[in-house]
């Protein structure tokens, strides 16, 4: 018997379970998107389609409800700034940690991993207390939220970039040094280009993590002007709300997916120029150990 056939033997039950799972995991979200297009106020069943809750309704639609617009801009501003700050710090930290040997490096490695394993509520409470009791000089609201987001996304960048660093090895950099490049030149001209797929993956993960964050934003929020989309979704469902909430979530979803799509295209083009394939799950599998 052909061993190849045995390995890829048919597994109809497993296949069914898997595809039913995929359906179960994605269908509710599609239904929520469909509900955002409802013509009426129902948040539970399908009604004729319109863009009433996007821009049609003159008071409660996404376009005309100030609090929703504010939440959307806050979320994007936080995520954008967070990418700009956390990515360089994280990339530098990954490069630094890789070279760092000795006992203190174990401590630094451990420190880098703690934020990943810390439940978000612990994170949220800790930041909330430190800002109210000790770092009172930082302006409340968005500044504090940004500092919080950066703190808990740095580690993701480090883990993803280190995975790639391990795959690259040190030989390219050593070759560059042998050919006369300074240490910084070797990093800038050789290492960073090789790292670019991992850096792109990190940027995406930082963006998605920041956009998705509810707990930290919520603990550091000071009211309507510092609400983000997740906070708005959370508080909105309790009060008798409209499909505008679904519209808000849908817009956020489309923006994220568009960003992921752009990043994927860029990654592909980098790979075509000679990089390695980071695998179908991108950097995400690296996060999971």
Partner 1 sequence: MFAVPGVGWLIAFFVVSVYAVMAVAFGGVDPFLKTSIPAWNPLQWDFTTMGNVIHEVFNGYLREVFVRTFVFVALSLAGCVAIGYPVAYYAARKAGRHKGLLLAALVLPFWISYLMRMLAWTNLLQPDGLVNQVLGWFSLPDNRNWLDGDWYTVVIGLIYGYVPFFILPLYSTLERLDGRLIEAGRDLGASARQTFLRVTLPLSVPGLMAASVITVLPMFGDYYTNSYLTSGSPRTEMVGNQIENYLRNTGQPQTGASLVLILMAMLFVLMVYYMVTTIRQQRAAER
* Phi, psi (degrees; rounded to nearest 5) at 38: -60, 145
Does residue 127 bind partner 1 (CB under 8 A)? Answer: yes
Smallest distance, Å, CB 213 to partner 1?
9
- Spatial neighbors of 146 by CB under 8 A, at least 6 apart, are 78, 81, 82, 85
Among 111, 179, 192, 262, binds partner 1 (CB under 8 A): 111
Tell me which residue of 133, 146, 118 sits closest to 221, measured CA to CA: 146
Does residue 150 bind partner 1 (CB under 8 A)? Answer: yes
x/- track of binding to partner 1 for residues 71-90 (CB under 8 A): ------------------xx
Does residue 190 bind partner 1 (CB under 8 A)? Answer: no
Q: Residue 262: how many CB atoms within 10 A of its CB?
A: 12
Instruction: Give the total of residues touching partner 1 (CB under 8 A).
Output: 99
Q: Residue 19: how many CB atoms within 10 A of its CB?
A: 10
Closer residue to partner 1 in complex, CB, 51/138: 138
x/- track of binding to partner 1 for residues 257-276 (CB under 8 A): x--x----------------
- How far is residue 200 CA from its own chain's centroid? 12
Determine the Cα–Cα distance for residues 164 and 169; give it in Å rounded to an integer: 9
Does residue 212 bind partner 1 (CB under 8 A)? Answer: yes
Closer residue to partner 1 in complex, CB, 175/257: 257
Among 41, 56, 143, 214, binds partner 1 (CB under 8 A): 214
Determine the Cα–Cα distance for residues 96 and 111; give it in Å rounded to an integer: 14
Determine the Cα–Cα distance for residues 288 and 281; give it in Å rounded to an integer: 11
Closer residue to partner 1 in complex, CB, 151/196: 151
Smallest distance, Å, CB 252 to partner 1?
6
Among 49, 121, 179, 224, binds partner 1 (CB under 8 A): 121
């Amino acid at each position: 018997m052909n061993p190849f056939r045995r390995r890829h033997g048919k597994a109809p039950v497993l296949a069914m379970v898997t595809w039913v799972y995929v359906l179960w995991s994605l269908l509710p979200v599609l239904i929520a998107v469909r509900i955002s297009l409802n013509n009426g106020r129902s948040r539970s069943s399908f009604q004729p389609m319109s863009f009433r809750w996007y821009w049609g309704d003159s008071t409660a639609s996404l376009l005309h409800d100030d609090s929703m617009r504010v939440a959307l801009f806050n979320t994007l501003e936080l995520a954008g700034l967070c990418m700009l700050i956390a990515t360089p710090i994280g990339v530098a930290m990954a490069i630094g940690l890789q070279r760092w040997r000795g006992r203190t490096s174990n401590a630094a490695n451990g420190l880098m991993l703690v934020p990943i394993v810390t439940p978000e509520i612990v994170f949220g409470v800790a930041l909330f207390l430190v800002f109210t009791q000790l770092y009172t000089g930082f302006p409340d609201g968005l500044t504090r939220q940004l500092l919080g987001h950066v703190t808990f996304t740095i580690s993701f960048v480090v883990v993803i970039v280190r995975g790639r660093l391990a795959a690259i090895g040190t030989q390219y950099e050593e070759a560059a040094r042998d050919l006369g490049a300074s240490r910084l030149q070797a990093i800038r001209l050789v290492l960073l280009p090789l790292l670019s797929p991992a850096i792109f993956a990190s940027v995406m993960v930082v963006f998605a993590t920041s956009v998705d964050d509810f707990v930290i934003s919520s603990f550091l929020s000071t009211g309507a002007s510092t609400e983000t989309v997740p906070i708005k979704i959370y508080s909105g469902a309790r009060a008798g709300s409209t499909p505008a909430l679904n519209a808000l979530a849908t817009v956020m979803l489309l923006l994220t997916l568009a960003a992921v799509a752009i990043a994927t295209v860029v990654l592909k083009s980098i790979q075509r120029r000679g990089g390695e394939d980071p695998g179908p799950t991108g950097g995400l599998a690296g996060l999971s150990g």
